[in-house]
Structure 1
């Protein structure tokens, strides 16, 4: 007998229906005023089914977040493996572009603060891994300063929000180049100055 537990395909299908319904509803009318009834109606399920899977819409949003962002942002590479920052940033931007209406609603002014915080949590390790492998960009302790990682991560999320609010005036590739140019010309120069100054 196998110790691997298999999830019932009906559970997977139901959660996918609810998640897709949430994404569609949030894209249309935002998250805060969204009701369980609206989500279940869109998913063509009843409220009782919803509550078999989730406590509330926040738990559903968390599940959707993990599914969406897990597909978009790979984990940081193992220590010693070089990282090209273009790859994860481009993958994230293409993913955000694919679900633009959802992310516009969730990251915009009327968005969901915990979602932005969760995105920061997912992106920060990648930024940290990239900085730790950039020549001369670590602190005397050997790691990039946390304040710099937070600064870059928050700046990237702010620029992504701007990109969505302005109907993506630049392609994903152009955005990657803009972000990396700003980062390498600004923050990285600042870090280098801190080391020599």
Structure 2
């Protein structure tokens, strides 16, 4: 398969890929190049289907050379996956990084606001058939972020297997709520959706556990 041929979008993350991302510490020039390419792809996706976007169009929009592109990414789908990963890593760990002192297990209001402002991108994911891959990827990221958050909040009496299961379920509920919200026109405010999610989340958590 040539570099310009479309390859299937990988679903989920392998342990090796996560480890590779953690080991990489790109300098400012590399980060700038990746940012230019990511922003170019996102902008183009709001204009046309990702399947119709070529690597050359990304390069022209980003003003980056072809050889430079292939130093960082295998193909367009690799760049697309990187865009999703970077965003999900940021949102799923936001409360842990901020060490927020609240009852929230996930930054629902902020995440919904961000996605709501990018409705064209969401529609592009739906139209390209990649929305399911996005939700599967997102569920893994948010499950890990929620598990870390619950530990930080003092839920110590859950065995690891139950913590993992509950975190995975909460992440799935979050994304189902996001889809429901977007599909009906995002009528409610992100803050209202945050409150709704956490009422449902804590109704389940408090039936089994309590904060320290």
- TM-score between the two structures when normalised by the length of structure 1: 0.70
- What is the aligned partner in structure 2 of residue 156 from structure 1? 174
Aligned residues of 2:92 and 2:146 also touching (Cα < 8 A):
no
Q: How does 1:114-153 map to 2 (within 5 A)?
A: 114-132=133-151, 138-139=157-158, 141=159, 144-153=162-171
- What is the aligned partner in structure 1 of residue 27 from structure 2? 7
The structure with more radius of gyration: 1
Alignment deviations for residues 45-72 of structure 1 (CA, whole Å, 9 cap, x no partner): 4544422331111221233224323443
- What is the aligned partner in structure 1 of residue 6 from structure 2? none
Q: How does 1:98-113 map to 2 (within 5 A)?
A: 98-106=117-125, 110-113=129-132
Gaps of 5+ in 2: 1-24
- TM-score between the two structures when normalised by the length of structure 2: 0.66
The RMSD of aligned alpha carbons is 3.6
- Distance between the aligned counterparts of 1:108 and 1:138, measured in 2? 43
Instruction: Count the aligned residue pairs.
Output: 184
- What is the aligned partner in structure 1 of residue 57 from structure 2? 38
- Distance between the aligned counterparts of 1:108 and 1:178, measured in 2? 28
- What is the aligned partner in structure 1 of residue 3 from structure 2? none
Change in Cα spacing, 1:28 to 1:8, as seen in structure 2 (3 Å) is same
Aligned residues of 1:19 and 1:60 also touching (Cα < 8 A):
yes
Aligned residues of 1:131 and 1:138 also touching (Cα < 8 A):
no
- Distance between the aligned counterparts of 2:116 and 2:48, measured in 1? 18
Alignment deviations for residues 57-90 of structure 1 (CA, whole Å, 9 cap, x no partner): 1221233224323443326649xx9653166222
Are 1:175 and 2:190 matched, yes or no? Answer: no
Gaps of 5+ in 1: none
- Distance between the aligned counterparts of 1:109 and 1:54, measured in 2? 20
- What is the aligned partner in structure 1 of residue 45 from structure 2? 26
Q: How does 1:79-94 map to 2 (within 5 A)?
A: 84-85=103-104, 88-94=107-113
- What is the aligned partner in structure 2 of residue 166 from structure 1? 184
1:95 is aligned, of 89, 114, 123, to 114
- Distance between the aligned counterparts of 2:79 and 2:173, measured in 1? 27
- Distance between the aligned counterparts of 2:28 and 2:151, measured in 1? 42
Partner-residue secondary structure (3-state), 1:28: coil
